[in-house]
Chains A and B, each alone.
Chain A
Amino acid sequence: MDFVNQLQRKFIDYSSSLHREGIVDDQFTQLRKLEDENSPHFVMEVASLFFEDCEKLINNMAIALEQKQGVDFKQIDECIHQLKGSSSSIGAMRVKNACIAFRSFSDGQNREGCLRCLQQLSHEYSLLKNKLQTLFRLEKQIVAAGGSIPRVH
């Protein structure tokens, strides 16, 4: 049982650090609260969907920004809008803020500015993905060791 306690403590500490660093916000906590016996891995499932979505949108924007014959800023704007929405829904605060910053450059039809923002966005996304995957690994370890996921707050 001591091993499980250690893992659980690690989970709680890591989870708190994600909040402290602004990687996730209160919406992430709200999603956690929705987890129960019927859907014990709800957050993990929604996060996977988000990762797929994010990668696709970042890729589409990269392609759009490369177009020599002219950048379709309307398409960029739609991608940002979608990504802002889903990052907000999952509580991915820094990704969401990167989208908000991005929007002002795409509104201004500033290609250079957009490229910088996209880089920043990719960085925030990688950070989020790495950290959440670490958290989910801990989650799986706890369950495998016969423990339960600590429900925070």
Chain B
Amino acid sequence: MVMAASETKFHVLAVDDTLIDRKLIEKLLKTSSYQVTAVDSGTKALEFLGLNNNDHHDVEVNLIITDYCMPGMTGYDLLRKIKESSSFKDIPVVTMSSDNIPSRINRCLEDGAEEFFLKPVQLSDVNKLRPHLMKRRTQTNVNKRKAMDEIVSPDRTRARYNELEVK
């Protein structure tokens, strides 16, 4: 039983304190056929992921896109928290900002952000997300397939073992 590349939509968590930008990123993502959850702070993003309480790990997020300049927890703080979390460090994170500050951009990329988009974000930017998502999904499928093979074919394994024994 082989796990084909799933037809379910990728789920993106968008984080931005500005309502207009949240509406815009949500529209861009939905236009590109992603399922979107949009929150207005890093704290809410972490709550949604379940980082603050261990009860719900059933929400699956495939990518996080966050604004940099936010009151309280910045996008950079959020990036660090995600990358330091054992449960969520493998979720790709993308940062965005209306300010073109090279040191800021470099810091985010060096500390684990896959991309850094300058606002206003365009559809062409959102198109850059897919490779990051496909890479993760392929890896997950390879891992799942290995696990499935081990569960599904105990007979085959046993037969092989028996053959060895006979030899």
| Chain A contacts to B: CB under 8 angstroms | 27, 30-31, 33-34, 36, 39, 42, 45-46, 49-50, 53, 81-82, 84-86, 88-91
Contacts and interface: CB of A to CB of B under 8 A. Distances in A.
A85 B27 contact: no
A86 B20 contact: yes
B7 to A, nearest CB: 20
Nearest to B25: A89
Interface of B: 18-21, 23-24, 27-28, 31, 69, 98, 119-120, 122-123
A34 B21 contact: no
A34 to B, nearest CB: 5
B27 A39 contact: yes
B98 A88 contact: yes
A30 B20 CA distance: 15
Contact of A30 (B18, B19, B123): B123
A3 to B, nearest CB: 32
Given A34-B27, A34-B31, A42-B27, A85 B21 contact: yes
A89 B28 contact: no
B27 A89 contact: no
Given A49-B23, A89-B120, 7 more contacts: A39-B27, A49-B20, A82-B18, A85-B119, A88-B98, A89-B20, A89-B24
Nearest to A85: B98
Nearest to A90: B20
Contact of A34 (B18, B20, B28): B28
Given A34-B27, A34-B28, A39-B27, A27 B120 contact: yes
The 10 closest A-B pairs by CB, nearest first: A85-B98, A89-B120, A86-B20, A34-B27, A27-B120, A49-B20, A89-B20, A89-B21, A88-B120, A89-B24
